[in-house]
Structure 1
Amino acid sequence: MRGIDGCAYELALEAPLSQGEALADRLLARVTGEAGGQRRDITDVLGALNRQGRVGLGSATTTRLSGLGARGFRWNSGDEDVSYWYPQGITGSSDAEASGQVEGRRLIMTSWYHKTDARPTKGARLSVADITDLNDVSYRHLLLVDPVEEGGQVNYTSAEYDGGNALHAGGIVWWGRYVYVVDTTRGIRVYDLGRMFRPSDTDDTGAIGIRGGRSDAHGYLFAVPRIGRYRLTSESCPVRFSWVGLDRQSDPPALVTGEYISDQVSGKAAVWPLDAESGLLETRQGSTVASQALVIGQTRAQGGVRVGGDVYVSSSSQDGNQGRLYRGRPGQANTSVNWVYGAEDLYYERAYDLLWTAAEHPGARDVVGVERF
């Protein structure tokens, strides 16, 4: 792992955040007016968790992570085996709030993308899981939606790339009301839990948006709208956004983004300072410049976080088909421990000193945390 000098990485909002918020507010007014929906918030979600997680980890994961203090849960059998939704990003209440809890609960949030050749796709979704008691985990899925102008009115679509593929949502960070979601080649999207809504109808899993006086979100009970998108500026050096983690303990706190490259160790990570009061990227003269950049030094980086100056990187398929979890600092050699099959994004839970990931492959989707090393 080494630092990068002589190249600046820079993000800026593609439009003022006030414009995105105004569009989302217009959408809320239409959904709750003519389209029969209702405004909702995270309290409503926690009161409507409708799926039961399974206790413990799979035997392969338990064996693989022996001695690392592994703990976690599994999704219900339907979500464990589904072939057209794949989990990717992970965050939780330790990122969201300084206390480490939301509404007095210990929570995990993951992202999934709709893996399908069909068009249009269902985009990306979030899962909010209550892990206060790991022997009794309940959760619910929420759909990410993007407000759009349509014939002089505002409507909404699934979260997709500009070309029409489902947003991969390879990494997420939850901070206050905001959920940051990486947009692989462009930057970072911002979704607003404070502007969440319940569509009027949930009986049509193929329908999205407002039509004929009703609102739909592919059958989901909750939809979370986008309010902003940070994009690389024309002056920035190129970098991809495969994942994102949070350093909540640094001053200022910061997002850490990084690149997945399957066959080279040249993938880069960049550190983006946050304004702790607003929860948005720290902006000077209209843009945010990365405060640090480094070469990761490992292939297949699927996630990363920074803790006390150490950078932890979740890599997949480096040990046969198994992952490795690395710790490093610029100028120092990386150390590593066994990691899970299908490892993805990383999340650091401060109160328990745990590093978490959500494995992606059907039949082996453990949500697992290990003791930080």
Structure 2
Amino acid sequence: MTHRGRHRRRRRGRALRATLTGTALALTAAATLISTSQAAGGDNPGGLTPVTAAADSAGLGLHENLTDQRALDSLTRAMGGSVGVHDVLRAADHPMRDQSACDAAETAALPVKPTATRAYCWDNGDATTTQWLPRSVTTSGDAHDDGRWGSDRVILSGWTHDDRRPGAPAAGRGLARVAFIDADDPAHLAYRWVLLVAPSAGGKDFEAVRTRMSGMVWYQDKLIVTARDSLIVFDLRRILKTDVDRDAIGRVKGGYSAHGYQYVLPAIGSYRLTGGPCSTADERTVPCFSALSLDRTSTPDSLVASEWSPPGGTSRPARLWRYAYSTAPGHDGLLATGAHGDVRAIETYETDATGVQGVLSHKRAGAARADWYVDHAPTVGGRHGTLWRQTTSGAKAATCAADETLACWGRHTTSLSYWQQTGELWTLTEGAADEDDGSGTASADGRVLFAVPLESVDDALG
């Protein structure tokens, strides 16, 4: 029995020992079939464990804080009114390359199994910069069940500024931007950058939002992105256009500037974890947010989250949980709250998968419960990851070579998003990995946005 197994057995108590012992014996028997190279894909995490004790999920609670509507209206008026997503897409100035034009490193970052059916690479500057990291993805398939925002098919990709070079200007560190990708023509994708900001000075000014953006979901007219111990909310109906091209962010002489970006998206609120600062110490502490995704197969629709934990070497499980979206009038795209603005987790599990970079929950037709797809990051830079499908009964991953390796998923993938209308699972590779995944790599090689049919993922699992 591994240290991780002993840890979980101690915590859950004597009543579950017989069950866990049987599970451990089954996993031990299965382990004899796993080759040395297969271990590079990550040890089998086994089944999910439901968290039913209220004390164990208390740290997942949120409190909703919405920005004063008057401040938002004031900023909107001062900047000449809002513009629509369609307007941003029509101003797209960065063409994406389809798979045939991707270079060898980018193509090598795609999954070995199953095969990506659509793949795109960024323009040259964004493909090679080490100052910005692609971290998250969501689509108009999340926003609406018809897969469109108005008449447009749209993909959003969140990037964070991460320049730690000596002498690098501090003003740019931690900036967050979103690529608004026009996906109307699958053969010719193009995008425009929008900087994330927050209103200040009662709506007379704005300042930069600085977050690592490891997760992002677009639902109805709201965009929710991760910060370390909170979720930040944006309204896609409030995109604003700057009128001064300077490095400054906010109000300047002659108008408003946004570090060279023409469009900004101001925050309209946040959800802060009520248990205090997050920690990775153990599974009883307040979690640090990692990945987000949308589950349209739950009732009501729900926001799925995972916590960040270091890949490899950890002796504790990581939590996966969900919050219900609101169905109350006037609360479109926001989470369901109690009378005092509190949000509770409605379902929580623990997984022994480490270094979770992406999470997705999806219930297949006729199934009693949802499957959970967990993207396991490699512990060594430049290697492929593993996509596990977990239930309370066990875990499965694709095998992709004669030696039965499980490292079949993309290289340094981050974030998962399911486009229900098309049946596609979207993700992207980070290329330049940082301390979050423990790889220690400093190269931007291998950045690619790709889609795989979820049905193909399930077929690959057998």
TM-score, normalised with respect to structure 1 = 0.89
Other-structure match for 1:322? 384
Paired residues for 1:1-373 under 5 Å: 1-6=48-53, 7=56, 8=58, 9-13=60-64, 15=65, 17=66, 19-32=67-80, 38-56=81-99, 58-62=106-110, 64-117=111-164, 118-121=169-172, 123-149=175-201, 154-160=204-210, 167-184=211-228, 186-202=229-245, 204=246, 206-234=247-275, 238-262=286-310, 263=312, 264=314, 266-276=317-327, 278-286=332-340, 287-308=342-363, 309-317=370-378, 321-329=383-391, 331-337=392-398, 338-361=408-431, 362-372=444-454, 373=458
Give the Å deviation of 1:108: 1.2
Give the drift of 1:55. Answer: 0.9
Q: What secondary structure sits across from 1:28 in the alignment?
A: helix
Q: Distance in 1 between matches of 2:134 and 2:215?
A: 10
Q: Could you list the structure 1 runs, at least 4 aligned residues long, displaced by more than 4 angstroms after superposition.
A: none
Give secondary structure in 2 for the equivalent of 1:339: coil
Question: Matched residues in 2 for 1:341 and 1:181: separation?
Answer: 23
Q: Which moved more, 1:316-325 or 1:74-83?
A: 316-325
Deviations 1:254-312 (A, max 9, x none): 00111121232511112000014621101112211100111122111011111111111
Quick one: distance in 2 between partners of 1:334 and 1:107? 32
1: CA distance between counterparts of 2:116 and 2:95? 23
Secondary structure at the counterpart of residue 340 of structure 1: coil
Q: Residues 341 and 153 (structure 1 numbering): CA distance in 2 closer, same or farther, change over 3 Å?
A: closer
CA 5–53 in structure 1, closer or farther in 2 if over 3 Å, else same: same
1 CA distance for matches of 2:156 and 2:327?
Answer: 21
CA contact (8 A) 2:73 2:203 kept: no
Between 107-116 and 120-129, the greater mean CA deviation after superposition: 120-129
What is the DSSP-based 3-state SS (H/G/I as helix, E as strand, rest coil) of the residue aligned with 2:108? helix
Q: Secondary structure at the match of 2:141?
A: helix
Secondary structure at 2:92's aligned position in 1? coil
| Counterpart secondary structure, 1:317 | coil
Residues 326 and 54 (structure 1 numbering): CA distance in 2 closer, same or farther, change over 3 Å?
A: same
Q: CA deviation at 1:240?
A: 1.6
More helix by share: 2
In terms of fraction of residues, the more strand-rich structure is 1
Give, as a single letter, the amino acid of the residue that structure 2 aligns with 1:208.
I
| SS of residue matched to 2:421 | helix
The number of residues matched between the two structures is 352
1:354: how far off? 1.7
Residues 144, 224 of structure 1: 8 Å contact kept = yes
CA distance in 1, matches of 2:380, 2:161: 28
- Aligned 8 A contact 1:269 1:296 in 2: yes
Structure 2: 5+ residue stretches without partners? 1-47, 277-283, 364-369, 399-407, 432-443
- Distance in 1 (CA, whole Å) between partners of 2:186 and 2:389 is 27
Q: Is the deviation greater in 73-82 or in 111-120? A: 111-120
- Taking the aligned partners of 2:117 and 2:333, their CA distance within structure 1 comes to 31
Q: 1:153 to 1:71 in 2, by over 3 A?
A: closer
Contact 1:244 1:304 (C-alpha < 8 Å) held by counterparts: yes
What is the letter of the counterpart of residue 395 of structure 2? N
| 1:27 match: secondary structure | helix
1:120 deviates by 2.2
Which ranges of structure 1 fall in alignment gaps of 5 or more residues?
Answer: 33-37, 161-166
CA separation of 1:153/1:174 partners in 2, compared to 1, >3 Å: closer, same or farther? closer
Aligned CA-pair RMSD: 2.0
Q: TM-score, normalised by structure 2?
A: 0.72
Deviation at 1:243, TM superposition (A): 1.5
Sequence identity of aligned pairs in percent?
A: 27
Displacement after TM superposition at 1:119 (Å): 1.8
CA distance in 2 between partners of 1:237 and 1:270 (Å): 15
- Please tell me whether the aligned partners of residues 51 and 138 of structure 1 are also in contact (alpha carbons under 8 angstroms): yes
User: How far 1:130 moved relative to its partner?
Assistant: 2.1
